[in-house]
Amino acid sequence: MKQHEESAAADVAAAIPKPERRPKSDKKGFWHSQWKKVKKHRGVLWFIIPAAVFTLLFSYVPMLGVIFAFKDGADGKFDLSQGDIIWNLTHGAWTFSNFLNIFVDNTFYKAVGNTLLINLFRLAFCFPLSIVIAVMLSELKHQSLAKVILIIICIPNFLSWAIVIGIWAGLLNPSVGILGRVTGHIMAQDAWFKPLAVFFSAWKGAGWGCILFYSAIASIDKTYYESATLEGANRLQKMWYLTLPSILPTIALMLVLNISGMMAAGFEQIYTMMQISTDLHDSQIILDTYLYEISVLNQNNIPFATALGVFNGAIALFLMLVGNAITTRTMKRGLW
Amino acid sequence: MKKTDKTAAPEAVAGYLPPAKRRRNPFRRNPNKIKESVLDRCLAVLNIVILLFFVVLVCFPLLNYFSLAFNNGNFNLDVVIYPVRPTLKAFEYVLAGDGAKNFWRAFGNSVVITLIVTVGSNLVEAMAAYPLSKKDCPFKSGIMMFFIITMLFSAGIIPIYLLMSALGLLNTIWSIIFISISNVTHLLYFKTFFEGIPSDIEEAAKLDGASDIQLFFRIIIPMSLPILGSCCFFTIVGTWNSYGSALLFINQSDAGKAAQPLAYYIYLMLQDSSFDKNNPWLAANIQNVEAAAMLASILPILLMYPYVVRYIRGGIQIGSVKG
């Protein structure tokens, strides 16, 4: 192999006076060099196979299901009870109307509105809360106390959503809950649904979310603070002009990550909350729960449900790509 | 300032006392230290007060609700943060009484699912990350793209539901297991970590005659225990607590009931008590039974809390998100 290369290089060197050692065309060189790498790593390359098989089977094979979105399912032609998947694929007309039907579906608009609202509230409330707690913890004189507090406020993150909502439903229960006796049954009130959803997210996730910021603050050089103190800066000034700018890259990255996940408002949380008061359906529905309802609970128009799922996935993909473009441009690193 | 002047003056006059022998007053302020302004000290106090408020906000619901698990159901209204009429009847019902069969079945399902997913997912992803961590891995960017695309785009739940139904995995724990095995985030964590391992070590092991499999399992894996621990921890917590995939793949049929994971069991318990309505004790203690079942279901996670403590104190950093 090596000899062959050298002789080729010698030929080219003879033909062209420049001492350039790029003998082959790019394409042949690419496959040739890849083949050399394959041979070099042939002992470990098969390590990829198990992960690739699982990814192929449970991520890529479902992507083929996108074609269901192009079948006509409006009049029950697409019926899983009538036959298997192959039967359904070969029967019934092809159409693009499922995607168009998304835009005339009122529930879809309600779901998108609720999803965006809940996520905007979260962005405005939960996200800054994590940063504020992290800054406050780092301002404590005794950092061991800060760690104890952090350990305590992280506990809810390790409870499942069923338990978190079970606890609060118990507390806010109007007849037996200790808070519910004062507030009434606010979990069954329209106006309280979104604030409570955001509050539960904060209660569960704020402590865990602030670990990242807390360790970012802890890694700031302490001598900056000493010199700031000597210059006569007070606590607020140190927080504003020293701590926050130092963790700004972390904040920006998490902000972009949050915005990229804007279309997912937490299926488990919202769906569990919806079970407590089922009569407020329209003010509670988010994209994920709507998708779940039309795909699993009442499968009367499977092509439309597929189309909505694909559409949702496409928007999520778009947001992720935009987020990645932003972080690569401004922070010189991708989202993944 | 006045105070430091007062203490400094006798020192200067009474110079015959050797300073080394004088007992240092532990409460005396260090005179060299810049004194904090009143505003700053107020802020510090306010800071602690607000943080303690957050601690109470987290602890109070937990204490209040889980006190019910130890309380007699007829006195639930009196509970604030501790059980007023302590009893273990609710636990007895959940763990050894009429509710035990369903609880332990769901518990067993969760243990099996969590074990298989944790070992399987992390082993598979670590193995895949190892060749990809090499600088001259062939088709590296192509293979990475293959994995990363699945992180960014999914075709929704209908296709995955139809796939599971075609494979005959609906209403089995295998649907939940298989859907959780592939975890590209952890693949990226492993890849980043492996890239930091110096290649000299691998070459030395190769010279000593280690095969690739030996090299990976005897050298690379033991060196990667920190990242492996973190990833396993996140997999365990995530799998134990999630019931979204159970909502998808498991229904209320008998086969489905046999495959419920614990978090799903708790979720079902919350909305409709499928408990025996003829049992008067149960009617009075339903809240206590629910609280007891929840507490029993989080105990395995609480056992892992020392790891969380280490995570917080050591600031174990994983992946490329660095502080």
Same domain, B54 and B126: no
Rounded mean pLDDT of B42-67?
93
Q: Band of the pLDDT at B275, cuts 50, 70, 90?
A: low
More confident residue, A233 or B114: B114
CATH of the domain at B100: 1.10.3720.10
Residue B40 has pLDDT above 90, yes or no: no
In a shared domain, residues B126 and B64: no
pLDDT of residue B90: 87
DSSP state of A243: I
pLDDT in tens, B61-78: 999 999 999 988 888 888
Return the higher-pLDDT residue of B296 and B35: B296
Q: Judge whether residue B316 has pLDDT over 70.
A: no
A178 vs B319, residue with greater confidence: A178
pLDDT (0 to 100) of residue B322: 36
Is the minimum CB–CB distance between A89 and chain B shorter than 8 Å?
Answer: no
Decide if B99 is inside a domain. Answer: yes
**What are residue A141's phi and psi, to 5 degrees?**
-70, -40
Residues B54 and B154 in one domain: no
Q: Which pLDDT value is given to residue B116?
A: 96
Comparing alpha-carbon positions, the chain A residue that sits nearest to B311 is: A211
Summarize pLDDT for A97-136 with one digit per residue, the tens. Answer: 888 888 998 899 999 999 999 999 999 999 999 999 999 9
DSSP string, A13-36: HHHSSS-----S-HHHHHHHHHHH
How is domain A101-331 classified at the CATH fold level? MetI-like fold (1.10.3720)
ipTM attached to this prediction: 0.83
pLDDT number for residue B319: 41
Least confident of A72-86, B43-57, B68-82: A72-86
Residue pairs spanning A and B at CB distance below 8 A: 276
Residue B149 forms part of a structural domain: yes
Which of B31, B65, B87 terminates a domain? The answer is B87
Q: Do residue B23 and residue B167 come from a single domain?
A: no
Q: Are residues B79 and B206 in the same domain?
A: no
Task: Tell if the CB–CB gap between B159 and A275 is shorter than 8 Å.
Answer: no
Ramachandran angles phi, psi of B6, nearest 5° = -60, -45
Going by the DSSP 8-state scheme, the letter that residue B277 receives in this structure is T
Question: Which of B74, B114, B141, B158 to mutate against chain A (most A CBs within 10 Å)?
Answer: B158
Query: Of B87, B120, B151, which residue constitutes the final position of a domain?
Result: B87
Q: Could you tell me which residues come within 8 angstroms of residue A107 by beta carbon, excluding any fewer than 6 positions away? A: A282, A285, A290
Tell me how far apart the alpha carbons of residues A57 and A89 are, in angstroms, rounded to a whole number: 20
Give the model's pLDDT for residue A84: 67
Average pLDDT, chain A: 84
Per-residue model confidence (pLDDT) at position A78: 65
Residue B292 shares a structural domain with residue B238:
yes
> What pLDDT does A281 receive?
76
Interface contact flag, A152 B242, Cβ < 8 Å: no
Query: B59 and chain A: CB distance < 8 Å anywhere?
Result: yes
**Are B60 and B119 part of one and the same domain?**
no
Read off the DSSP letter of residue A75: T
**B186 lies in the same domain as B213:** yes
Q: DSSP of A160-216, one letter per residue?
A: -HHHHHHHHHHHT-TTT-TTHHHH-SGGG-GGGHHHHHHHHHHHHHHHHHHHHHHHH
Q: Is residue B240 part of a domain?
A: yes
The answer for residues whose C-beta is within 8 angstroms of residue A76's C-beta and 6 or more apart is A300
Tell me whether residue B176 is exposed, middle or buried, using C-beta atoms within 10 angstroms of its C-beta: 0 to 12, 13 to 18, 19 or more: buried
Q: Which among B187, B263, B309 has CB closest to A151?
A: B309
Q: How confident is the model at residue B6 (pLDDT cuts 50, 70, 90)?
A: very low
Domain boundary among B63, B87, B111: B87
Whether B18 and B67 map to the same domain: the answer is yes
For residue B178, name the pLDDT band (cuts at 50, 70, 90). Answer: very high
pLDDT, tens digit, 9 for 90 and up, residues A255-307? 888 888 888 888 999 999 888 877 777 888 899 999 998 888 887 788 888 99
Task: Output the pLDDT for position A2.
Answer: 46
Position B56 scores a pLDDT of 95
Instruction: State which residue of chain B sits closest to A314, comparing Cα positions.
Output: B153
Average pLDDT on A198-206 reads 94
Domain that holds residue B72: 2-87
Domain ranges in chain A with CATH number 1.10.3720.10: 101-331
Instruction: Name the residue among A44, A65, A212 with its Cβ closest to that of B321.
Output: A212
Q: Which residue has the higher pLDDT, A54 or A18?
A: A54
In the predicted model, what is the mean pLDDT of chain B?
83
| Residue A279 vs residues A171, A222, A271, A274, B273: alpha-carbon distances, Å | 21, 55, 13, 9, 19
Closest-CA residue of chain B to A86 = B166
* Whole-number pLDDT of residue B323: 30
Cβ of B321 and A253 within 8 Å? yes
Residue A71: φ, ψ to 5°: -95, 150
Report which of residues B309 and B59 the model is more confident about.
B59
Say whether A231 sits in a helix, a strand or coil: coil
pLDDT at residue A77 in the model? 59
Q: Does pLDDT of B230 surpass 80?
A: yes
* Cα–Cα–Cα angle for A269, B168, B262, rounded to 5 degrees: 35
- Of B11 and B297, which is predicted with more confidence? B297
B17 and B153 in one domain? Answer: no
Task: State the pLDDT confidence band at A178, using cuts at 50, 70 and 90.
Answer: confident
Specify if B319 maps to a domain: no
Is pLDDT of A36 > 70? yes
Token output for A321: 């790509």
d(CA A65, CA A36) in angstroms, rounded, equals 37
Residues B88, B90, B93, B94, Cα dihedral to 10°: -110
Q: The tokens of B258 are what? A: 């046999």
Report which of residues A131 and A334 the model is more confident about.
Answer: A131
Per-residue confidence (pLDDT) for residue A93, from 0 to 100: 74
Is the predicted pLDDT of residue A212 greater than 90, yes or no? no
* Overall average pLDDT of the B295-299 stretch: 91
Query: Per-residue pLDDT averaged across A83-88, rounded?
Result: 67
Number of compact structural domains in chain B: 2
Task: Give the one of B34, B50, B244 whose C-beta lies nearest to A229's C-beta.
Answer: B34
B82 and B117 part of one domain: no
B225 in the same domain as B271: yes
Please compute the mean of the pLDDT values over residues A30-59 and round it to a whole number.
Answer: 87
Decide if A116 contacts A197 (C-beta within 8 A).
no
